[in-house]
Amino acid sequence: MEFNVKLTLLTSHSSICTISGMDFEWKSTMHLAMRNLGTSGRFMIPLMVTMILLSGFRSATFSVEHLQAGGPPIANALLIAWLTGSLLGPILLPWLPGRNLAVKGLMAGLLGLLLYPAACFPLHLEPLDVLMALLIIPSVTLVLITHHLLPIPLALVALAAGIWIAARFI
């Protein structure tokens, strides 16, 4: 089966993308992306706040210095995963390679991984933060794009968060 993408400009306000015989209007795609951003924010914002607060712990003691050092990398990783999975992924869905939605979600997650070093450029990253980002960004992106249909990315998110939290308290 051939995968054809044809973009037809109708007016200055509307355009249609045809993918394998299915038409997607850009206005509805943007509406869906903004709706995904809002609905996923219900659990992403509390998760981000919790992980940022937990980043202040080292050896089971909390300090503001540790919070200032560990908070931005985790905040950047979760923010990139949230924006990639809720906004960028659905917008780029017609152009992401692969037919399966899970493959497209993984490709969007890998795109998010490329954005992580740029977002953390002036920060000093610990190896644990890099490992956490490698596991969390593609997994959260995949979960958001597939609308929570795959249990494996959820398990990877739980594993990454568990390793990260355990390392903070040990």
Structurally, the chain folds into a number of domains equal to 1
Q: In the prediction, which pLDDT does 83 show?
A: 93
Does 15 reside within a domain? Answer: no
Does 11 reside within a domain? Answer: no
Does 26 reside within a domain? Answer: no
CB 49 within 8 A of CB 158: no
Residue 137: φ, ψ to 5°: -60, -55
The β-bridge partners of 24 are: 17
Q: In the prediction, which pLDDT does 8 show?
A: 40
- H-state helical runs in 20-150: 26-54, 64-83, 89-92, 101-119, 127-145
Does 12 reside within a domain? Answer: no
Q: In the prediction, which pLDDT does 150 show?
A: 62
State whether residue 47 is helix, strand or coil: helix
Does 151 reside within a domain? Answer: yes
**CA–CA separation, 161 and 49 (whole Å):** 13
Q: In the prediction, which pLDDT does 126 show?
A: 82
Q: In the prediction, which pLDDT does 7 show?
A: 42
Q: In the prediction, which pLDDT does 24 show?
A: 58
Does 58 reside within a domain? Answer: yes
Which residues form the domain of 76?
Answer: 32-169
Q: What is the pLDDT along the chain (170 residues), one digit of tens a residue?
A: 444 444 443 333 444 554 444 555 667 777 777 888 888 888 889 888 988 898 888 887 888 998 888 889 989 999 999 999 998 988 888 888 888 888 888 899 999 999 998 888 877 788 888 888 888 898 888 888 887 666 667 777 777 788 878 877 77
Q: In the prediction, which pLDDT does 102 show?
A: 82
CB 141 within 8 A of CB 85: yes
What predicted TM-score, i.e. pTM, was given to this entire model? 0.76
Does 149 reside within a domain? Answer: yes
Does 22 reside within a domain? Answer: no
Enumerate residues 6+ apart whose C-beta is below 8 A from 87. 33, 34, 36, 37
**Tokens for 90?**
């659905």
